[in-house]
Amino acid sequence: MRNTTVSAYSADGIENVARANPVDEHYVQVTASGSWLLFRDIDLNQIKKITLSIMPGNTVGKIQVRAGSLDGKLLAETGVLTKDSRPASGPQEGWFDASFLWA
């Protein structure tokens, strides 16, 4: 069992994702369509909501949570996220929280 806060940087497997670690920061960058992160040993039975801190840059797409595999049961999905989804100013300029409920 893991902490309720799980960093994308700590993913057990990645595809078309780069781990970035500038001073005092750890995050991932999606590098191509169809990218994925794998997290093992997370019990999804009690999960009701996920919140991600993201910065889409020029990327356009959805984020999905699936059970077991890339083509496993779809558990949750965001709407289409673009650079226009982020706040134009304020404390989270560029970065913003994207939350979605279980399907």
Backbone angles phi, psi at 84, to 5 degrees: -75, -10
Q: Is pLDDT at 3 greater than 60 in this prediction?
A: no
103 vs 88: CA distance, rounded Å: 30
Average pLDDT score, the chain:
81
The string over 48-86, giving b where at least 16 C-beta atoms fall within 10 Å of a residue's C-beta and e elsewhere, is: eebeeebbbeebeeebebeeeeeeeeebbebeebeeeeb
What's the rounded mean pLDDT across residues 11-15? 91
Q: pTM to 2 decimals?
A: 0.76
7 vs 74: CA distance, rounded Å: 21
